[in-house]
Structure 1
Amino acid sequence: MFWEILAFILGVTILARYLYPWRNSPLLPPGPKGLPLIGNLFDMPSSSEWLTYAEWGKKYNSEIVYANVAGTSIVILNSAYAAKELLEKRSAIYSSRPRLVMLTELSGWAFAFALMPYNDAWKARRRIFQKHFYPSNTDIYQPLETEYVHQLLFKLLEDPKPFLEHIRHMVGSVALSITYGIKIHTFNDPFINLAERAMTGVSESLVAGAFLVDTIPVLKYVPEWFPGATFQRKARNNRKAAKDIRCLPFIETQKEMASGSVAPSLISLSLQESNSEEYLDLLRDVGTQVYVAAADTTASSVGSFILAMVCFPDIKVKAQKELDHVLNGRLPEHNDMQSLPYLSAIVKEVLRWQVVTPMAVPHLATEDDTYNGYHIPKNSIVIGNSWAILHDEADYPDPHSFRPERFLKDDKIDPFVKDPEEAAFGFGRRMCPGRHIAQSTLWLAAGCILTCFDLRKAVDSNGQEIEPSREYRLGGIIQPLPFACIIEPRSKESEQLLRTALI
C-alpha cells in the first residue's frame, strides 16, 4: 500500500509542477525541448555541467537558458551582464536559496548559512561573520597566514612530492586557527581530514541535477534499502560528517578556553559575549561555514597556481624577476601587494582560469520576473555559470589561455578589466563574505613559493619532460588531481631564506 500511495503522490506532484509554468504560455528563455511530464530530466548533465550550459547558450544564441526538470524551472545565467542584472541589481527577489533536499534535509547541512533562505536566521549568522571578517578587519589574521605559509615552504623543501597534501594542510591550518584558535601540528590532522570528508559530500550534492530528490522531494521518503536509493546511503554518511564538523572543533575550543590556553579566534572571542544556548548554536553554524569553505576552496586555488607555473614557465620566470627586483632577498609580505602587480595578475588569472566553483550556489527567484522579454517563473532555480562568465571572449579574449597580462596596463592592474572576483566568489548579497582572506592567503602563498622555489615539469627515465595532468576532481567545488612536477629551491640563498623564515 505504501508504494501505491507514493506512486500516486509522485505522479500528481510531477503533473502539477510540470503543467504550472505553461498555464499562461509566457515566453520562457530558450533551452532544449523537454518531454511530457519529466521535461528536461534526461538533458541535464551529470558532470561538467558548466560546459553543457555554455554550449546551450551558444546553440540558442542566448545569455540566459532554461530547463524544466519534472516541473522545477531552472534558469542558467551565462553572462556577467545577466548575473549582475538579476542577482545583484534585483537582489531583493534573487537572494534566497532553493530547497536543496539532498544537501540540507538529508545530508544534515541545514545549519550552513550559505545554504539558508534569505531570512532572519541567515541574517543573524551573516551578521556575526561580517563582524569578524569585514575587509578592514582582516589584517589581524595576516600573521597567521604568514606563519602557515612559511611552514608550507619548509614542507615543500623537505618533501615536495605530496605538495597538494602540504597545501591542504596549510590552508586547513589557517582556517582552523582563524576560526577556532586550534593549532595544527601533525600532517594527518583529524580536523583537516574531517573537513575534507565533509566537503566531499557538499561538493557532490551542490551539482544541479545530480540527485533527483532535489527536483522531486517526495523521493526523500524512499527507504535506504530500496533498489536505486544510493542517495540515501550517501546522505547517511554525509550526516555523520556534518554533525562532527559542526561540533567537534567547537568543543575543542571550549576545552581550551576552560584550561586558559586558547588562542584568539572567531569562536573564542565570540564566546566571551554570550553563553546562551541560542547564541552557541549560531556560533557553531558560523564557525563551520568559515572553516570548511575556506579549507576546500583556497586549497584548490593554490593547487591550480602550482599547475599553471609548471605548465607556463615563461610566466613563472617573469613573476620571479619582479619578486627579485622588489624584494631584494626577502620573502613577500602582504603590504608588498601594490608593488607586485604581475604577481597579483597571476592570482587573478588563477581564479579565472580554473574557477573553484564553476557553477555558483543556486539562487531562488521569490517572485515572477522578466528579463530581456523572457519570463522567469516564481520559484525558479537561478544559477550563475561562473565558468562561462570567466571564459567569455568579450571580457577575456583568448579565454582558454593562461595570460596574466590581460589584467595589466602600464605595469599596473587595469581597473577596466572585469575582476574575476565578481564571478569566482558568488553573486549579489550571497557573495562569499570570506573572499578577502581567501585571496590574501592565495596571494601570499603564490609569492612565497615563487620567491623560493623553481617549479618545472617532471622528466621520465629518458630525460623527456612529462606533461602534467590537467585533470580535476569534479563537483560543486573542483580540485586538481595529483600531477607530477619538480619543486626545488632556486638557489642556496633561497633555501637559506626559507629556513630563516621559520626561526
Structure 2
Amino acid sequence: MDDLRSIRTLATVIVSTVGAVWVIRRTLKNRSRLPLPPGPKGLPLIGNLLDMPLDSSWEKYHAWCKQYDTDILYLNVAGKSMVILDTVEAANELLEKRSLIYSGRPRMPMVVELMGWDFNLGMMDYGNVWRKHRRLAQQTLHPSSSRPFRPHIVKATRNLLNLFLERPQDLERNLRHMVAETVIAVTYGLQVKKEDDLYFKIAEEGSGAMGRVASASTKYLVNAFPILKYVPEWVPGADFQRIAREGKVLAKNMVETPYSAANAAFEAGEAEPSFVSASLQKMKEGNEGDVYQEEIIKNSAGAVYAAGSRTTVSIVLSCLLALVKNPAILKKAQKELDTVLDSGSLPTFDDEPDLPYVTAVVNEAFRWRDVAPLAVPHKLSAEDEYKGYRIPAGSIVIANGWAMLHDEKIYPDPFTFNPERFFKDGKLDLETQRDPAHACWGFGRRICPGRFMGYSSVWLAVASIISTFDIEKPRDENGNEVEPQEEYNTAGLTIMAKPFAYELKPRSQEKAEVIRQSLSFST
C-alpha cells in the first residue's frame, strides 16, 4: 500500500513538473512572438547608435515617447537593448512591482572594473554581495538610526553661512566645502576645517576622477568592448589604461585613508558618532555578522561620499538660482521664517513642521531641476512583457525621472518654479500633490538609501541661507537688473548649474552677527 502511494506521489510530481515546464516554454514561445516596444528605426548592425543624444538625453527620449505615443521606448544600440520608461506608472509597474528581475546593473568596465569602483553600492550588480552592503546602508542611514549624525549637518551648515560672509561670490565652492564637511563627518566622524585638509582633497580627487570618466563614458571603447580591458597600457590607443590606473589609486585613497583614521579613533575610544563608528560598534557586539563585517563597512562608507557630494551641491545651487529669478518667492519664505524663529536664532530640524512654505521651496527645487534625470540604469535579468510588448532579457532599463517630474498632467506648467503647487486648501500636501520623491531618488530595490539624510541636508542649508541672506539679481552700471542665465552642465549622470549672476549679502548686521555667534555653538 505504501509503495502504491509512493508511485502515485511520484507520478503526480512528474506530471506537475512536465506540465509546469510545458506552460513555461509555451509562455516564453508566445512572448517571443510579441513585438518590441516602439522606437526609432535603426540601421543594420549598429541600430540606433547614431541616433543617441550626446547631451540632455532625457529630453530626446521624452520627445521620442511623444512621437511614438508610448510610455515605454525601445532602442537598439549596436545590438544592446535599451528600454526607456517615461511615466511613473511604467516605472512603478516594472521597477517597483517586478523589482526581483529589474534590479541589476549594466556592466561598467571602465569605472567599476578598471578604476576600482567595485566597492560602490550603487554600481554593484544585484546579488548577495549587493544585498549585504545595501542592508548595512539601509539600517545605518534610516531616519531613526541616523539621528545622532544630525549635529554634523548643523555644524557644517553654520560653517557654510560663515563662508558666505567671507566670500559671497564663491557659491559653488562654499557649497562643496559644506557637503564635504558634512559627508566626511557623518560617514567617518572626522572633521574638515580647511580646503587643503587631507580628507577633503582625497574625496574631491577620487570622486572628481570618476565623475569625469563617467560623464564621457561613450568616449571609452572598453565600455562597448570589455575585452579591451586586457590590452596593455603601452599599446597605442590604450591611454584609457593610464587614466584608469591613476583613477584607481585615487579611489583606493578615498576608501582606505579616512576609514583607517575612523577605525583608529574607534579603537582608541575617541570616535565621534558616525556611520563607521555605529557600524564598528555593532560588529564588535556581534550583531548580524553577515552584514557588519569590516570590508562591507569600509566599502559602504566609501560609497556614501560618492553618492551625496554632487547631488546636494546641485540641488542647493538650483534652488538659489530659482530664488534669484523669483524674488517674490524668496520674500515669502523669509517672512515665514521671521514669523516662526525667535530673534537671533537660526533654523533647526525641529522647526521643519512649522515652515511649510520653506519645505515646499525645497521640494520644488528637487522637482524643477532633477539632479540625476535618468539616475543609474537598471538591467533586466529575465525576459518580460509589458502592455503586450516583449522586453528582452539583459536589456538596459532607464527611468526618465525628468519626464516624470515635468509631466504636465501631474505638475501643471512644469517648467515654472512654483512652490505653491504643493499646497492644497492652504496647507502643505505632499501626498495628493505628488511628492517629487516618487521619482528623484531612484526606484525599487535600487532607491537611494541615503535619501533621508540627503533631503535633511538640503532642507537645513536652504532654510538657513534664506533666513540670513538676501540673494538677488545683480545690477549693471546703469542700475538695471541683470537676469541670470539658466545654463547647466548636462553631459553626465548628474546635472549642475553653471555659474550665474547674483548678489548675496546678509539681510542685516544682526543676521551677520547671529551667523558669527553660531560658530561657537557648533564647534
Distance 1:103 1:121, change over 3 A: same
- Indicate the residue corresponding to 1:279 in structure 2: 293
1:216 to 194, 216, 225: 225
Rounded to whole Å, the distance in 2 between the matches of 1:68 and 1:216 is 16
What corresponds to 1:125 in structure 2? 133
Q: What secondary structure, in the 3-state scheme, does the structure 1 residue paired with 2:129 have?
A: helix
Counterpart pick for 1:295 among 301, 309, 314: 309
Which of residues 345, 348, 361 in structure 2 aligns to 1:346? 361
1:463 equivalenced with 2:472 (yes/no): no
Letter in 1 for 2:250: A
Query: What is the CA distance between 1:204 and its match in structure 2?
Result: 4.6
In structure 2, how many angstroms separate the alpha carbons of the residues matched to 1:363 and 1:205?
19
- Identical aligned residues as a percent: 45
Structure 2 residue corresponding to 1:491, chosen from 508, 511, 517: 508
The answer to whether residue 252 in structure 2 is matched with residue 243 in structure 1 is: yes
- One-letter amino acid of the counterpart of residue 282, structure 1: I
Equivalence for 2:5: none
Hey, what does 2:453 align to over in structure 1?
437
CA distance in structure 2 between the partners assigned to 1:147 and 1:449 by the alignment: 14
2:153 matched to which residue of 1? 145
- What is the rounded CA distance, in whole Å, between the counterparts of 1:51 and 1:225 in structure 2? 40
List gaps (5 residues or longer) in structure 1.
1-20
The worse-fitting range, judged by mean Cα deviation, of 399-408 and 254-263 is: 254-263
Normalized against structure 1, the TM-score is what?
Answer: 0.90
The answer to whether structure 1 residue 265 and structure 2 residue 236 are counterparts is no
Q: Secondary structure at the match of 1:135?
A: coil
| Residue pair 2:202, 2:254 contacting (<8 A) in 1 also | yes
Q: Match for residue 412 of structure 2?
A: 397
Measure, in 2, the Cα distance between the counterparts of 1:350 and 1:210: 32
Out of 478, 481, 484, the residue aligned to residue 495 of structure 2 is: 478
Is the alpha carbon distance of 1:183 and 1:410 closer, same or farther for their aligned partners in structure 2, counting shifts above 3 Å? same
Alignment of 1:65 onto 2:73: yes
- TM (norm. structure 2) is 0.87
Q: Which residue of 1 aligns with 2:389?
A: 374
SS of 2:364 mapped into structure 1: helix
* Aligned twin of 1:198: 206
Q: Residue 517 of structure 2 aligns to which amino acid in structure 1?
A: T
Q: Deviations over 1:326-378 (max 9, x none)?
A: 11422211121111111111111100111111111111111111111111101
Is it true that 1:385 corresponds to 2:394 in the alignment? no
**Aligned residues: CA RMSD:** 2.3
1:9 corresponding residue in structure 2: none
Structure 2 Cα separation of the partners of residues 338 and 483 of structure 1: 32
1:368–1:101 CA distance, 2 compared to 1 (3 A): same
Residue 18 of structure 1 corresponds to none
CA offset at residue 64 of structure 1?
A: 1.1
Task: Tell me which residue corresponds to 2:320.
Answer: 306
1:327 aligns with 2:341: yes
AA aligned opposite 1:347: V
Counterpart in 2 of 1:4?
Answer: none
Shift of 1:178: 0.9
List per-residue Cα deviations over 1:4-55 (Å, max 9, x = no partner): xxxxxxxxxxxxxxxxx9x955311111111111111111122221111111
- Residues 133-178 of structure 1, C-alpha deviation per residue, up to 9 Å, x if partnerless? 1122232222221111111111111221112111111111111111
Tell me the secondary structure at the aligned position of residue 268 of structure 1: helix
Aligned counterparts of 1:188 and 1:481: Cα–Cα separation in 2: 24
Paired with 2:503 and 2:115, the residues of 1 have a C-alpha distance of 40
Kept after mapping to 1: 8 A contact 2:470/2:506: yes
Aligned counterparts of 1:34 and 1:108: Cα–Cα separation in 2: 35
Q: Tell me whether 458-467 or 289-298 shows the greater mean CA deviation.
A: 458-467
The AA in structure 1 aligned to 2:105 is: R
Asked if the contact 1:37–1:71 (Cα under 8 Å) also holds between the matched residues in 2, the reply is yes
Instruction: State the Cα distance separating 1:210 from its structure 2 match.
Output: 5.7
SS at match of 2:390: strand
2:431 is equivalent to residue 423 of structure 1 = no
Cα deviation, 1:201-239, whole Å, max 9, x if unaligned, reads: 444555675644333323334444556555444433332
Change over 3 Å in CA distance of 1:45–1:199 after alignment to 2: farther
| 1:402 partner SS | coil
Q: Residue 136 of structure 1: SS of its match in structure 2?
A: coil
Following the alignment from structure 1 to structure 2, what is the Cα–Cα distance between the partners of residues 195 and 398?
Answer: 39
Q: Which residue of 1 aligns with 2:94?
A: 86
Count residues in correspondence.
482
Conserved 8 A contact 2:148-2:273: no
Q: Alpha-carbon deviation of 1:71?
A: 1.5
Amino acid at match of 1:286: S
In structure 2, C-alpha distance between the alignment counterparts of 1:459 and 1:340, rounded to whole Å? 31
The Cα of 1:466 is off from its aligned counterpart by 2.4
| Whole-angstrom distance in 2 between the partners of 1:320 and 1:152 | 18
Cα deviation digits, residues 31-89 of structure 1 (max 9, x gap): 11111111111111222211111111122111111111122101011111111111001
Asked if 1:184 corresponds to 2:198, the answer is no
Say whether residues 1:134 and 2:151 are aligned partners: no
Q: Which has the larger displacement, 108-117 or 255-264?
A: 255-264
CA contact (8 A) 1:206 1:361 kept: no
